[in-house]
Amino acid sequence: MLTVNNICDGAENFTPEEEFENDQTWTDPRETCPALADDLAAYNIYYATTEGAELQVIETVNTPNEFDYTDRPELGIAGCYAVTAIDSVGNESVFSNIVCVDNCPAYELPNAFTPNSDGSNDDFRGKGMLDGATNFTFTIWNRWGEVLFQTNNPEQAWNGRKNNTGKLSPNGVYVCIVTFDGPRGEPFEYKGLATLIR
């Protein structure tokens, strides 16, 4: 039995800078097939980028008493994994169960910015890993409940002006809410305060 764990499992407040890796563990096949006791030689680790894609060998673990492997995919952590056992003459078992994991959204908001055109911290926006996320909305309100800025583009920042044009808003604290749906449709909401300092 193969299991795959990563930073998405039970981590609600991790940051995008954390290392993204998939830790795979499997049960010793000799527990269900005692005939392998003296014949187990290695394991092949298989990976596919998406469910239904052809699994390819990414690693061979040549230690029969080792039951784990860590993969660090190049783009995100989404993918599907399986493991096979190999005996001393090269016979390979059928695939274990196939486990697929999605990218998990990671997002964080700063708490202040200084829109003074000095080229440092001049705008306000969150940052993160949003692969597979949909329905993104980023909204800024003033203390009277007036919407000052709203976008559906995660790359667009607030420059401290209403709708990013016109007069600069006064120093103060503004309410920020970011919402989006994760790869499986699960809703995410991040609330914060944006302190504008000139």
Q: Give tens-digit pLDDT for 138-163.
A: 999 999 999 999 999 999 999 999 99
More confident: 79 or 141: 141
Would you say the C-alpha torsion 10, 11, 13, 16 has a positive or negative sign? Answer: negative
Q: Residue 14's pLDDT band (boundaries 50, 70, 90)?
A: low
- Domain 2-101, CATH: 2.60.40.10
Stretch (H or E) spanning 134: strand 134-141
Across the chain, mean pLDDT equals 87
Domain boundaries, given as residue ranges, for the chain: 2-101, 106-196
How confident is the model over 112-127, as pLDDT tens digits? 999 988 888 999 999 8
Whether 128 has a pLDDT exceeding 90, the answer reads no
CATH fold match for the domains 2-101 and 106-196: yes
pLDDT number for residue 127 = 87
Measure Cα distances from 50 to 47, 55, 78, 133 in Å. 9, 9, 7, 16
pLDDT number for residue 129 = 74
Q: Residue 17's pLDDT band (boundaries 50, 70, 90)?
A: very low
The architecture in CATH of the region 106-196 reads Sandwich (2.60)
pLDDT number for residue 81 = 95
Mean pLDDT over 57-82 rounds to 87
Whether 4 has a pLDDT exceeding 80, the answer reads yes
Measure Cα distances from 97 to 25, 53, 113, 151 in Å. 12, 15, 49, 42
Least confident of 22-31, 102-111, 134-143, 188-197: 102-111
pTM tops 0.85, yes or no: no
Distance in angstroms (rounded) separating the CA atoms of residues 25 and 3 = 5
pLDDT number for residue 3 = 87
